[in-house]
Amino acid sequence: MNSSNRSGKIIIVDDHTAARESVADVLRHAGYEVADAASAVEALPMLERESYDVVVTDLQMPGMDGLEFIRQISQRSLNVQVLMITAHATISSAVEAMRFGAFDYLEKPFDVTRLEEQVARAIERGRLLDAELDTKGPSTTCVHESMDSGMVGNSRAMAELRERIAQVAPTDETVLICGESGTGKELVAKALHSLSPRAKGTLVSLNCPALSSQLTESELFGHRHGAFTGADADRVGRFEMAEQGTILLDEITEIDMPLQAKLLRVLQERTFERVGCNEIRVADVRVVASTNRDLGKEVAAGRFREDLYYRLAVVPLFIPPLRERGDDVQLLADHFLARATRRLGREVCKLDSSARELFALYSWPGNVRELENIITRACVLNSGELVTGDEFRPWLQCPEDVDSPTTGAALPVGASLEDVERQMILATLEHFEGHRAKTASALGIGVRTLSGKLRNYGYAPREKGFREISTANRQTLPVPSATSAGPPLRKSA
């Protein structure tokens, strides 16, 4: 990708001449250098010959469709951001496009301003990743590979997390990683370290809840022989081990108040002393901390120092729980299946559709760790048959915490795609109690796209859920549930 070209280089791929030229004209008017192709087959050689910042492609095309085009771009490791525009919008195709690497997904007739904004964001994201590679040289692992080796998922929440990691990693600032237990906080710390200028150094971690206060201090800063009972020899602490590298303080809230004060000094002055020794040592190390608690509440309750909180939370990163990551649960299940298969040296363990449905409906209180656990167990115990949802259910942390699946009667035969999409969107919105960001993430669409659809349906926000506005009497109507039979609600006359 040509990072020196400030305007950006775009290729439009669409078999419809008028549509292709229309998009090209809009982007040329916005100042971009634009090329076009009438098919994906024609576009692939162009992408291999020249560097482009963004591909804008249609979904429905003869020969190779848009999804296969994205797969080919991914398989050939072509360094380009993909924006899909289509009149054939479905939730499944949106999820599939994002799964195979599409940056975003827009519907025809597209909004010109929205198109320009998304193209600009795609270019910015690509250049951000390129800048990371430039600072590390050609021998450094690709940004995507460094993060995607463990951070599996194409939901919008994960895409935003990856972008934030790519922004933060090149700096030397302290990072606070927040997220529920089992969400993958250590993976984020590894990504921050591997993409940082300290990548050649060591990433050293300390599980703070595992040790007593005295041992935690010794583990952090080291100790001198005879400093306390049992200190039979000098010991090097984690801060010294992480010299010119990164230290991860896992579950930082478990450190008691006196030790918090000593840690604050390290962050402020970048110096420390071994236990039982007055020699001052320099801490040339980047600090990354993690917590599964709300530190603001911990501070208010007097269990955590406010000044230490502000020192740690220079750059906070929030990891979404698995229940808010939509179709990522299926990608993660496949990832863990493949990994367990390689480790066990067995045939691939396959999941029945009922297992997939269970995964989609379950709230995953144990997050990614819980999913990995039951997938691994299934692979160990499997004797070659498809694994069903009934087999997985007893292994769940909260087996009763599974939403009722959608029945076949929920979508009557003959319903239009528009009505089906409308019921799906409103049912998902009701499930998340009107929370637009969570709904959009679960559906695999943008928040703006969701808001536009809700406006078209005539729905306005209320405290929980949404209400349909009647122009006659402004009557509040209920939101249809995913299991309700019959035709979708109509607006009042």
- Residue 276: what pLDDT? 84
| 76 C-beta neighbours (distance < 10 Å), count | 11
pLDDT lower than 70: segments of the chain: 1-7, 87-101, 128-150, 210, 403-415, 458-493
Residue 25's identity, in one-letter code, is D
Joined together, the tokens standing for residue 132 give 């990371």
- Residue 409: what pLDDT? 40
Joined together, the tokens standing for residue 375 give 């997938």
- Residue 69: what pLDDT? 87
Reply yes or no: is the peptide bond before residue 394 cis, omega within 30 of 0. no
Measured torsion, CA atoms of residues 238, 242, 248, 254, in degrees rounded to the nearest 10: 20
**What's the CA gap between 132 and 163, in Å, rounded?**
12
Q: Give which of 27, 23, 21, 26 is closest to 9, Cα–Cα.
A: 27
**What's the CA gap between 196 and 205, in Å, rounded?**
16
Contact between 220 and 238 (Cβ < 8 Å)? yes
Joined together, the tokens standing for residue 2 give 């040509």
For residue 77, what are the β-bridge partners? none
Handedness of CA 203, 209, 211, 217 (dihedral sign): positive
The 8-class DSSP code of residue 82 comes to E
- Residue 188: what pLDDT? 94
Joined together, the tokens standing for residue 72 give 């080919």
The model scores a pTM over 0.75: no
| 370 C-beta neighbours (distance < 10 Å), count | 19
Joined together, the tokens standing for residue 213 give 């206060």
**What's the CA gap between 146 and 136, in Å, rounded?**
13
**What's the CA gap between 468 and 390, in Å, rounded?**
38
Helix (H, G, I), strand (E, B) or coil at 155: coil
**What's the CA gap between 123 and 80, in Å, rounded?**
9
For residue 387, what are the β-bridge partners? 351
| 120 C-beta neighbours (distance < 10 Å), count | 14
Question: Which secondary structure element, helix H or strand E, spans residue 315, and what is its range?
Answer: strand 315-318
Give one DSSP letter per residue of 335-353, joined into a string: HHHHHHHHHHT-PPP-B-H
Rg of the chain over CA atoms, in angstroms?
Answer: 26
The 8-class DSSP code of residue 253 comes to G
Strands 175-178 and 315-318: parallel
Give one DSSP letter per residue of 350-400, joined into a string: -B-HHHHHHHHHB--TTHHHHHHHHHHHHHHH--SSPBPHHHHGGGSSSTT
**What's the CA gap between 160 and 158, in Å, rounded?**
5
**What's the CA gap between 246 and 189, in Å, rounded?**
9
Q: Per this entry, what is the length of the chain?
A: 493
**Residue 63 to residues 47, 60, 141, 200, 318, Cα–Cα distance (Å):** 18, 9, 35, 46, 42
List, in order of start, the domains of the chain with CATH numbers: 9-136 (3.40.50.2300), 156-318 (3.40.50.300), 330-395 (1.10.8.60), 406-493 (1.10.10.60)
For residue 84, what are the β-bridge partners? 57, 105
- Residue 411: what pLDDT? 55
358-412 pLDDT tens trace: 998 899 999 999 999 999 999 999 888 889 999 999 999 988 877 544 444 455 5
For residue 178, what are the β-bridge partners? 291, 318
